[in-house]
Amino acid sequence: MLQLLLLAVAAATTLGEDLPPSCSKPVYCDSDLLHYVQTARIFPDSKTFVDRHMLQDPEEILEEFKQLLNKTKNPTKEQLQEFVETHFDSEGELENWTPHDFTENPIFLEGIRDEELRQFAKDIHNIWPTLGREIKPLVFEKPERFSFIPMPNGFIIPGGRFKEIYYWDSYWIIEGLLIGGMKETAKGMIENLISLLRKLGHIPNGSRWYYQERSQPPLLSAMMSLYIRESGDIGFLRDNIDALQDELNYWLDSQIVTFDKGDATHTLLRYYALSKGPRPESYSEDYNGGLTYKLDDRKQEFYIDLKSAAESGWDFSSRWFVDNNGNNTGNLTNIHTKDIIPVDLNAIFANALQNMAYFEGLLNKQRRGSHWAYLAQQWRSNIEAVFWDEEDGVWYDYDMVRGKHRKYFYPSNVSPLWMGAVNKHLVKKHSARVLGYLQKSHGLDFPGGIPSSLIRSGEQWDFPNAWPPLVSIVVNALEALGTEEGKKVAFDVAQTWVRACHKGFGENKQMFEKYDAEVPGKFGGGGEYVVQTGFGWSNGCVLEFLAKYGRRMTAHDDSSYSSPDDIESKENEYTIDTKSQ
C-alpha cells in the first residue's frame, strides 16, 4: 500500500509540473491551429495534416491563424479547410530512390530448395526498391517548414501511410536488407538513426518532429550487431560507439524505475513518454478519448499512457489495459502503460548492454567493456527475479502498482530468450518448461501465425492479428532453447508463417503489415487506421525465415491448414471476447 501511495504521489507531482509539448515545432505539436484542424476532422486520418508541409514560415502561419480566430471566434470546417489548403502543401517531402547495392538475384536465393518459395523470396526482395526513398533538397533548405526531420541517406520506408523511417521497424528491415546483400543500404539506415540520435539526444519513434518526445524499443545496438556481423566494418563502429553509449544513457536517465518486489528492490525500464496533450498524428482520436475524464490531470495521464504504449510499438493492446480488478480487460479508457514493467523492453536493453560490452572489446576498450558487461549481468539478474514465473514457467510483464505478474499470453513473454537475456545455466534449466508453456498456451495453434494475444479486444495488437516481429521473436526464442524439440517447433512456426504470407501474396500481390492468425494470408484489422501494404518488417521477417530454413522449407502441405470449423472452434476455446466491455 505504501508503494502504491508513493507512486500516486509521484504521478501527481509529475503531472502538476509544466510538461513539454509533443515537440518543439508548435504548428505540428502545440498550437490552436493543430487543435482546431484536427478536432474538425478536416482529414479522416489525423496523420494527414501533420505530414503536410508549410508554404510559409511557421511564425507567419500562426499569426494568420490567430487573425482568423479573432475574426471568426470559432471558424467553420470550410474556413479551416480553406486555411489549410492556402498555407500547406500535400506534396510529399520524399522522392523515389533505388538503392545502389540492390541486385535482382542475391546469393541467398540459391539456398532455397523449393522453387515456389525461391520465387517468393525473390519477389519479396524485389519490393525493396519500391520502398526506397530519399529526401528532397527543399527539406534541407527550409527545414523549419516540414515535420520531416532531415537525414543524410536514402532509406527504406515501412509502406502505406508510414512514409518515414521508424525505429523498431528498422531492425527487421535491416535484417532483410543484409540477407539480400544490401550492406550499404543497411549502413545508411543505421547512420540515419544515429543522426536522429545526435540531433535529439535519443532516437524518436519515427523521423517526424511530432514523434520527438517518445522513442521505441532500443534496438540500435542490435542493428549495429547485425551489420558488423555481415560487414566486419569496425571503422563504422568506432566512429559511432559514442552514439550507441548515448542511447543507453538516455534510457537509463529517463525511463528507469525502481520498485519493490517481495523483500528486494529492483531497477528496470518502463515506457514513459512524458509530454502534454494528445499525439499530434492521432490528435482527434486521443482528444475524443480524453473527453471521458473530467479532471485535467487524469486526462493528461491518459495521454501519457497512450504515448507510452505508442513508444512500446504495441499501439494498442490489452497488454496495457488494467481494469479495476487489475486484469487486462476493457478498452482504451483502461490503459495504464506506465504502471507496467515490460519484459521485452528490458530484454532488449539487457542485450544492448551486452552488445556494448562486446563492441568495446572489439575496439580494445576492455575497461569500458567491463562496465557494460557488469550492467548487462545486473539486468539479466533482475529480469529473472522480476519477470520469471515459477508456477507457469515463463517470463511475464510485471504490474508494479499491484505487485503482481500479468499472467496472459503475449509473444513478448519469451523475449528474454530472443535477446539472449537469460544466463546460460537458466536457459538449460527453463527450456522444457518454456516450451511446455508455449504448447499449452494454444498461441502456436493457429494456421495463420502466432496472434499478438488471445484477447479479442478490437485493438490491432490483440487477437486475431499476427505481427511479423512477434513471430520472429518466438521463432528465435525457440531456437535459443538449444533443444531439438525447440528447434523443431521453431521450424514449424516459421514454416506456418511463410506459407501463410506466401498464400496472401499469391492472392493479393502485396505484403501486409499484419495478418489474421485464423485465416492464412488474410490481412489483419482493428486499430486506428486501415491495414497498410508494403511492408518493411513483413518482408524482412519472411526473408529471415527463408534464409534460415530454406533448404528444408516447402510451400505446400495438404495438412497445414485447418478447416473453417476447426478455426471457429479454436477461436471460441482460446479467446475471450471483450469488445463489448
Contact, 213 vs 310, CB < 8 A? Answer: no
Spatial CB neighbours of 474, under 8 Å, sequence gap ≥ 6: 411, 414, 418, 438, 444, 450, 490, 493
Catalytic member of 93, 213, 513, 516: 513
Sheet containing strand 340-341, edge to edge, reads: 340-341, 398-399, 404-405
Q: Which three cell numbers stand for residue 57?
A: 514560415
**Which residues are registered as beta bridge partners of 335?**
321
User: Rounded CA gap, 322 and 331, in Å?
Assistant: 9
- Is 485 tagged catalytic? no
Task: Confirm if 427 and 360 have CB atoms less than 8 A apart.
Answer: no
Torsion of CA 36, 38, 44, 46, to 10 degrees: 160
Nearby residues of 348 by Cβ (< 8 Å), 6 or more positions away: 217, 218, 219, 222, 415, 419
Identify the residue whose cell numbers are 537509463: 252
Tell me the pairing of strands 576-577 and 455-456: parallel
Is the preceding peptide bond at 464 cis, omega within 30 degrees of 0?
Answer: yes
Gap between the Cα atoms of 237 and 243, Å rounded: 10
Q: Which of 413, 408, 490, 500 is nearest to 449 (CA)?
A: 500
Measured N-to-C along each axis, helices 32-39 and 58-72 cross at an angle, to the nearest 10 degrees, of 60
513 is catalytic: yes
Helices (H), 17-100: 26-29, 32-39, 46-50, 58-72, 77-87
Contact 567, 518 (CB under 8 A): yes
369 sits in which H/E element: helix 366-387
CA 75 to chain CA mean position, Å: 37
Residue with cell 482568423: 68
Residue 356 per-residue DSSP state: H
C-alpha grid cell, residue 144: 523549419
Q: From CA 128, how far away is CA 188, in angstroms rounded?
A: 14
Cβ atoms within 10 Å of 325's Cβ, excluding its own: 7
| 106/503 Cα distance (integer angstroms) | 23
Q: How many Cβ atoms from other residues are within 10 Å of residue 97's Cβ?
A: 17
Contact 241, 363 (CB under 8 A): yes
Q: Rounded to 5 degrees, what are φ and ψ at 339?
A: -85, -10
Kindly name the residue from 30, 286, 301, 315 that is annotated as catalytic.
Answer: 315
- List active site positions: 315, 513
